[in-house]
C-alpha cells in the first residue's frame, strides 16, 4: 500500500518520468541537464509541462464536483445558521465553491443581502482563495501529503477564526449601506443539470482557467528556475534560512504586492523548498499572494469601509504568520 502511494506521488504528481525524459532529450541535443544553463532549461521545460498537465486534469475533475455547489446553493445551505457550526460550514463550502476573484464582490453582496451573518460571509471569503482543492493536490507533490493536509486544516481554521473575530466585533455598520438594500436573486430556476451539462461546464472552466493562468505559470516557473540554479545558496540561507526568525514575516510582506494565481506560486514554492527554505515560510508566502492580493483588496474596499478592511487584512496577516511559524515547527516532527 505504501509502495503504491509513493509510486503515485513520484510518478503521477512529481512526474519523475517526465523529468528523466526532458533530461534525456537535452542530453541528446548536446545540453548538459546538470549544468547551470542546462539545469535552468530542464527545470523550466519539465515544470511547465508538468504543471499544465496536472492543472488541466485537476481543474476538469474538480469543476465537475464544483458544479454541484454554485454560490446560490452554498448560500441556501448556510441560510439561517449561526455560531461555530455555520462558520465551519462556510469555510468548508469556500473550498469547493467555484470562485474567481472577479466574482468575489457580487458574492459578498449576495451573502450579506440575504441576511447571512458578516462573520460567516468572511469565513467563506477567506477560505475560498486560500484553500483551493486543485492546488492542494499539486502542493502534496512538493511538500508531501501530511503537510498538504495540515495546510487544508490550518487554512480552514484560519477562515473560521477570522470569521468568528469579525462576527464578534460587530462590524455591520462598516459595510456600505447599498449592500443591505440589494435584492436577492435565487439563481437559475428550472431543471437540475444533467451529466452532459456538468461535463460541458467542467470543460468551459478548464478552458477559462488555463487561458487565464498560463502566463502566471510561465512567470512562476521562470522565477522558480532562477531560484533553482542562479541564486546562491548562501543568500537564500542568509535571508530565508530556517534559523532566521524574520523569514516568515518577510515572506508575507514579499507576497502581498505579488499578483498571481495560486498555480503561479507553486513552481516558486517548489524551488524554495528545494533550496531548504522552511515549509512554513514557503506556505506563508503562498498564502499571502493568494489571500491578500492588492487588486482584490481594492475591490473589497468598494463594499466595506476602511476600518473593516483594515481589520480583515490584520486578521489574515497575523493568521498567515502564525501558520508559517507553526508549520516550521511542525514539519520536522511530521518528517521524523
Contacts with other proteins by CB under 8 A lie at 70-72, 75, 98, 100, 102-103, 105-107, 109-111, 113, 178-179, 182-185, 187-188, 204, 208, 211-212, 299, 302-303
Beta carbon of residue 2, minimum distance to other proteins (angstroms, whole number): 42
220 and 43 in contact (C-beta within 8 Å)? no
Nearer to other proteins, 16 or 72 (CB): 72
3-class DSSP assignment, residue 304: strand
289 and 261 in contact (C-beta within 8 Å)? no
CA–CA separation, 13 and 236 (whole Å): 26
The C-alpha cell that represents 22 in the structure block: 526532458
Question: Of 259, 265, 262, which Cα lies nearest the Cα of 220?
Answer: 265
Beta carbon of residue 202, minimum distance to other proteins (angstroms, whole number): 13
Beta carbon of residue 34, minimum distance to other proteins (angstroms, whole number): 41
CA–CA separation, 78 and 56 (whole Å): 31
Beta carbon of residue 178, minimum distance to other proteins (angstroms, whole number): 5
CA–CA separation, 7 and 14 (whole Å): 10
Nearer to other proteins, 112 or 268 (CB): 112
Phi-psi region of 89 (alpha: psi -120 to 50; beta: other; left: phi over 0): alpha
Nearer to other proteins, 88 or 97 (CB): 97
Nearer to other proteins, 71 or 167 (CB): 71
Nearer to other proteins, 298 or 335 (CB): 298
Beta carbon of residue 110, minimum distance to other proteins (angstroms, whole number): 3
Amino acid at each position: 500500500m505504501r509502495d503504491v502511494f509513493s509510486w503515485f506521488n513520484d510518478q503521477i504528481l512529481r512526474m519523475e518520468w517526465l523529468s528523466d525524459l526532458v533530461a534525456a532529450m537535452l542530453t541528446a541535443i548536446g545540453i548538459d541537464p546538470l549544468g547551470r544553463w542546462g539545469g535552468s532549461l530542464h527545470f523550466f521545460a519539465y515544470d511547465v509541462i508538468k504543471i499544465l498537465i496536472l492543472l488541466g486534469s485537476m481543474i476538469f475533475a474538480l469543476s465537475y464536483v464544483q458544479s454541484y455547489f454554485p454560490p446560490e446553493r452554498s448560500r441556501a445551505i448556510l441560510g439561517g445558521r449561526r455560531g461555530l457550526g455555520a462558520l465551519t460550514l462556510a469555510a468548508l463550502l469556500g473550498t469547493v465553491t467555484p470562485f474567481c476573484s472577479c466574482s468575489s464582490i457580487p458574492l459578498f453582496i449576495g451573502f450579506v443581502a440575504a441576511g447571512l451573518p458578516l462573520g460567516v460571509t468572511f469565513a467563506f471569503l477567506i477560505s475560498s482563495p486560500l484553500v483551493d482543492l486543485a492546488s492542494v493536490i499539486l502542493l502534496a507533490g512538493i511538500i508531501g501529503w501530511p503537510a498538504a493536509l495540515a495546510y487544508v486544516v490550518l487554512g480552514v481554521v484560519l477562515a473560521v477564526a477570522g470569521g468568528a473575530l469579525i462576527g464578534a466585533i460587530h462590524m455591520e455598520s462598516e459595510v456600505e449601506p447599498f449592500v443591505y438594500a440589494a435584492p436577492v436573486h435565487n439563481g437559475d430556476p428550472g431543471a437540475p443539470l444533467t451529466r452532459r451539462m456538468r461535463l460541458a461546464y467542467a470543460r468551459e472552466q478548464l478552458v477559462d482557467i488555463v487561458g487565464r493562468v498560463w502566463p502566471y505559470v510561465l512567470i512562476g516557473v521562470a522565477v522558480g528556475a532562477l531560484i533553482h540554479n542562479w541564486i546562491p545558496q548562501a543568500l537564500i540561507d542568509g535571508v530565508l534560512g530556517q534559523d532566521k526568525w524574520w523569514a516568515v514575516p518577510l515572506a508575507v510582506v514579499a507576497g502581498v504586492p505579488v499578483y498571481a494565481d495560486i498555480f503561479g506560486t507553486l513552481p516558486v514554492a517548489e524551488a524554495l523548498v528545494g533550496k531548504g527554505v522552511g515549509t512554513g515560510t514557503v506556505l506563508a508566502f503562498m498564502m499571502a499572494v493568494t489571500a491578500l492580493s492588492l487588486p482584490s483588496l481594492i475591490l473589497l474596499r468598494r463594499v466595506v469601509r476602511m476600518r473593516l478592511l483594515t481589520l480583515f487584512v490584520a486578521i489574515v496577516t497575523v493568521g498567515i504568520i502564525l501558520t508559517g511559524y507553526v508549520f516550521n515547527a511542525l514539519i520536522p516532527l511530521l518528517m521524523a
